Structure 1
Amino acid sequence: MKKLIISVVSALVIIIVAYSAGIGYYAEKFQANTTFGSVDISNLTLPEAEEKIQEDIYSKTFQITENGQEVGSIQLGELEPELQTGEVLTETYNSQNPNEWITGYFQSENHDGGLMETMNFDEQKLNKQLANLGLSNEERTAAQDAAIEYTEAQGYYVTEAEEGNQLDIDKVKKLIMNGIQNGEESIEINSAYLEPELSSHDEKIDSIMEQIETAKNTEINLEIAGNNVTIPQETIEEWIYFDSNNEIVYDQELIYEYLGTLNDEYATYNKPRQFQSTSEGEVTVEPGTLGWSIDRESETQNILADLQAGENVSRQPNIVGTGYNTGGNDIGDSYVEVSVDHQTMWVYVDGQIVVETPIVTGQIGTDTVPGAYSIWDKEEDAELKGYNPRTERDYVQPVNYWLPFDDTGQGIHDAGWQSNFGGNTYQVSGSLGCINTPPDVMAEVFAHAYEGMPVLIH
């Protein structure tokens, strides 16, 4: 019994001594079964572990494959990786308890995340190595983002994103580091392609297409002289483009041009017109100051506001000129008519002749210019001033009544100096272009006239 006790005590002493020796040994070394990435650093001091990790990484050679085809190899040392493993290794070392060194022989401890944080490549060197293998992005197809395109046939539509085969160097780096940590000898790079930034279902694409749909579906109805004109959807689409923030803006020049087409179709300004004359049947009256058109400058801004509001609207456009009405006839039933051939003037009010009188128009050389005009002022006791090209002198002529109707000085006024009216008087003592009217009639003409009243001279 005594011998048994001595043997047990001796064994315990040996175990204690061995355990204590192990504590002393692992006080400065990593425990058994410790790996850093794929590098076994068991039983190594911190400097020895760091040196081994660096030697192992620098000696690594990887076969590079793309879509299963081998394209070459890269030796990691040629990339001159920068390793700063000291801090991570020290942290790993300090996390191990030397008093528990025995457990290291029964379980492994792998610090596989630390390598990612401590290694960095020279990107230029990696690019050069890839280029040497024929993997330069300059010779590869870039990924194409989904985009919004426009054609007259289709309007706006989305083109799908397209995959390319240019390499994302950051992804290649991660593949290499993962390969190091996992002890791989081959790296497949087809998972490191640069991806399109925008897909056809991206929120930005959806948002822009939604803006386009809202804009083109905005119903803008213009009531033009009794005609209802709804701006077509395809026309609105033509006006759309996008600023740097991908916000819809509208081409104001195209809107302005579109309004020009409406003027061509509906406006009366600067257009000849057919007129049922008193003495000659239907005649053509040349353009003058009479007439209206859409105010393209201000109406462009109105349409912009309508589109930006995105609400359906029906309204009359801004109009400039004279004679605008919903019936489309800018002459109406009240007007002044002058026949140069007949040297006669008629004043119509509500379709009825209220004044008919002989007159004297411009003498040959200072002819009265035919056209469709409108009275723009009414003045009593006026002084007409100007230059007489026949006498080559300036003149000042007082008159009792003055009704100007164009922008060159033509108008209707009394002419007490004329001894005769009508007939051929205009050929020998005609005016400088005005409508000379008998004084006893001019007061009545003046009484019926109003600003904006059409004056038709033919």
Structure 2
Amino acid sequence: MSENKEQPRKRGKKEKKRRSKVALGVIVAGVVVMVGAYTVKANTYRTRFFPHTVINGIDASEKTVDEVRQVMSKQIDDFESTIKSRGNNDEIIKGSDVGLAFVKDNSLEDLLNEQNSMAWIAEMNGKKDLKIQSSFTVDPDKFENTVSKLKALDESKFEKPVDAKISDFVQGSGYSIIPETEGNTIDIAKAKEYIKSQLITLNNEINLDYEDNDLYEKPAKMSDDPTLNAALKNLNKYISARISYDKLNVLNGDTIHNWLTANSDGSVSISDDGIASFVKKVSSAYNTVGKPKTLKTSYGPTVTITGGSYGWKVDTEKEKAAIRSLIEAGETAKREPEYSRKAASHGENDYGNSYVEVNLTAQHMILIKNGSKVLESDFVSGNVSKNWTTPPGAFPLTYRTRNATLKGEGYSTPVNYWMPFNGGIGFHDAPWRSAFGGQIYKTSGSHGCVNLPPAVAKQLYEYVDAGFPVLCYNLTEAAPAPAPAETSAASTGETTASNPTEETVEPISENVSPQGGKTAVEIEQ
């Protein structure tokens, strides 16, 4: 019994092996069939283009090279291309107009040979848009004749490009950038080459204005140019400045813009002449040096004093620099000008209410402090007979000093109090004189200075300082002194003389020019 059981088992194992061999054989046969079918299909794509292949706009899917050529040849008869250009309507070129013809070469074969036929499955879905350059040609003469007539290439219709630029100043809004104008000036030679390259690839739409073609002349400066925008920023900053003065209209962009020039590097220049012209107006409004001054004299009449150096004087260089700085900063500021010379007041009379009144006619000096008379005295001024007359005018006291020596040719005279106000002309004590006032000055006057009694000179010295106004004038009509009394050299208070004796001899006095101008005197302290 055991032997009978063993036999069926052996037969079962043999049957399984036999079936496995059969199955393997089927699989191998299937693989062989599949490989064969794949290879057969791959061999098809050795002579035909893959599906979804487009060559120069022609569907070449599953077509042979000859079939593609036939399609290309047929296209010539009906081919036309639309030329698009800047500033013109579309223009049409027909293939026959340019002698378009098919050229048989190996371009299509080369494309086909580049296919990897064994990868045909991977290439089944992806679209391939291919180009060849030598399938078509144009007749040179027909091409030139046709293309030269295009409006896009008509030089008489060309408009040059215009650079972006900064606008003119507009009141209330300032400056802005005017965008560039592209124009339609084209490089004719390059445009013709481009048109030809598109025709021989059967491109039915040729856009000359395509940016990458770079056929049109471009503006040199565009709206986004960094230096242009930097200049715009600076211009609008500068015109935002507002500089005001009490005596002038506000200086703002309405005037400043006339002084500005934008530079190629984005900076902005401010005209020196423009600033100087404005500072001239500032000076005219504020300068009082040399302008007539009226004085209600202590004698009653009002006089007009001309000449002299007293008053306000604008320092033009400093004022120009200050204005430039404010404009460059775009600031708003209220200004008092920079001065090279100052006076006491900006009122009707710039000398204020403290001054020395020098009546050359009456030969009398009156010191006014804060509107009140604090000192007065007769004096002796320049010798009229020798043309050394003391000049009238308004002057600032130049300085004051003690123990000066007045030197001139042939003399050296010490004085205790020296207070010049008009070059070498000034107040000083004259202890050598025995009398002051009256008519002494006409024949025995000084060389131009105002000689004072020593006690008066001392008091005047204590009241005044550099810059103090000195107002010298003549009265057209004789007027008596306010408080007539005799003044002698020995006086120590305020006295005047109604009938002073003239001094016949003036021993030694200061040296001034014959016209009463600045001396060449050496002052030793």
Under TM normalisation by the shorter chain, which class is it?
0.5 to 0.7
Question: What residue in structure 2 maps to residue 405 of structure 1?
Answer: 421
Q: Give 1:294 shift.
A: 2.7
Question: Residues 137 and 159 from structure 1, CA distance in 2 versus in 1: closer, same or farther, beyond 3 angstroms?
Answer: farther
Alignment of 1:437 with 2:457, yes or no, is: no
In structure 2, which of residues 376, 382, 385 is the aligned counterpart of residue 361 of structure 1? 382
The RMSD of aligned alpha carbons is 5.1
The 1:111–1:71 alpha-carbon spacing in structure 2 relative to 1, beyond 3 Å, is closer
The answer to whether the Cα contact below 8 Å between 2:239 and 2:257 also exists between their aligned partners in 1 is: yes
Partner of 1:237: 257
1:17-416 alignment, distance < 5 Å: 37=56, 67-68=88-89, 96-100=115-119, 109-112=128-131, 135=153, 140-150=158-168, 156-158=174-176, 160-161=178-179, 163=181, 165-169=183-187, 172=191, 176=195, 179-180=198-199, 183-184=202-203, 187=206, 189=208, 193-194=216-217, 197-199=221-223, 212-222=235-245, 230-279=250-299, 281-325=301-345, 327=347, 329-353=349-373, 354-363=375-384, 364-386=386-408, 393=409, 395-406=411-422, 408-416=423-431
Q: 1:204 to 1:22 in 2, by over 3 A?
A: same
CA–CA distance in 2 between the matches of 1:74 and 1:231? 70
TM-superposed deviation, 1:347: 1.6
Structure 2 letter corresponding to 1:147: K
Partner of 2:74: none
Q: What TM-score does the superposition give when structure 1 sets the normalisation length?
A: 0.67
- What SS does structure 1 have at the residue aligned with 2:167? strand
Shift of 1:375: 0.8
Task: Name the aligned partner's letter for residue 348 of structure 1.
Answer: I
Q: Say if 1:61 and 1:71 are closer, same or farther in 2 by CA, change over 3 A.
A: closer
Helix, strand or coil at the partner of 2:424:
coil
Q: List gaps (5 residues or longer) in structure 1.
A: 1-11, 45-59, 78-85, 116-128, 387-392
Change (3 A) 1:444 1:72: farther
Task: Determine if contact 1:38/1:180 at 8 Å carries over to the other structure.
Answer: no
Structure 2 partner of 1:450: 465
What code does the residue aligned with 1:361 have? G
State the distance in 2 between where 1:177 and 1:18 align. 45
Shift of 1:384: 1.9
Q: Point out the structure with max Rg over C-alpha.
A: 2
Unaligned stretches of 5+ residues in structure 2: 1-30, 66-78, 99-106, 134-145, 474-525
The 10-residue stretch of structure 1 (330-339 or 356-365) with the greater mean CA deviation from structure 2: 356-365
Residue identity opposite 1:399 in structure 2: V
- Structure 1 residues 286, 33: closer, same or farther in 2, change over 3 A? same
Distance 2:388 2:157 in 1: 79
Q: How far, CA to CA, are the matches of 2:429 and 2:94 in structure 1?
A: 107
Post-superposition offset of 1:103: 8.6
Deviation at 1:19, TM superposition (A): 7.3
Q: How many Å apart are 1:435 and its aligned residue?
A: 1.5
Q: Do the aligned residues in 1 keep the contact of 2:84 with 2:206 (CA within 8 Å)?
A: yes
Q: Distance in 1 between matches of 2:46 and 2:379?
A: 132
Bigger mean CA deviation after superposition, 265-274 or 308-317: 308-317
What letter is aligned with 1:383?
T
How many equivalent pairs are there?
Answer: 403
> Structure 1 residues 138 and 367 mapped into 2: Cα distance closer, same or farther (>3 Å)?
farther
Relative to 1, partners in 2 of residues 1:362 and 1:331: Cα closer, same or farther, differing over 3 Å?
Answer: farther
| SS of residue in 2 equivalent to 1:445 | helix
Cα distance in 1 between the residues matched to 2:52 and 2:94: 31
**What is the letter of the counterpart of residue 179 of structure 1?**
Q
Structure 2: how far apart are the matches of 1:307 and 1:337?
44
Give the Å deviation of 1:431: 2.3
The one-letter code sitting in structure 1 at the alignment partner of 2:162 is Q
- Counterparts in 2 of 1:186 and 1:451: CA distance versus 1, 3 Å: same
Shift of 1:304: 2.9
Change in CA separation of 1:167 and 1:446 when aligned onto 2, cut-off 3 Å: same
Equivalent residues of 2:165, 2:180 under 8 A apart: no
1:426 and 2:441 correspond: yes
Q: Deviations over 1:301-336 (max 9, x none)?
A: 223333333343334332221315454642112211
Q: Give the Cα separation in 2 of the matches to 1:61 and 1:324.
A: 93
Q: Structure 2 vs 1, CA of residues 296 and 181 (structure 1 numbering), >3 Å: closer, same or farther? A: farther
1:375–1:243: structure 2 CA closer, same or farther, 3 Å change rule?
same
1:249 Cα offset (Å): 4.3
User: Is the Cα–Cα contact under 8 Å of residues 65 and 71 in structure 1 kept in the other structure?
Assistant: no
Shift of 1:37: 4.6
For 1:333 and 1:409, the matched residues in 2 are separated by: 26
Question: Contact 2:243 / 2:332 at 8 angstroms: preserved in 1?
Answer: yes
Tell me the CA shift for residue 382 of structure 1.
Answer: 0.7
The answer on whether the counterparts of 2:399 and 2:420 sit within 8 Å (CA) in structure 1 is yes
Following TM superposition, by how much is the alpha carbon of 1:204 offset from its aligned partner in structure 2, in angstroms?
7.6
Does the 8 Å CA contact 1:31/1:43 hold for their aligned counterparts? Answer: no
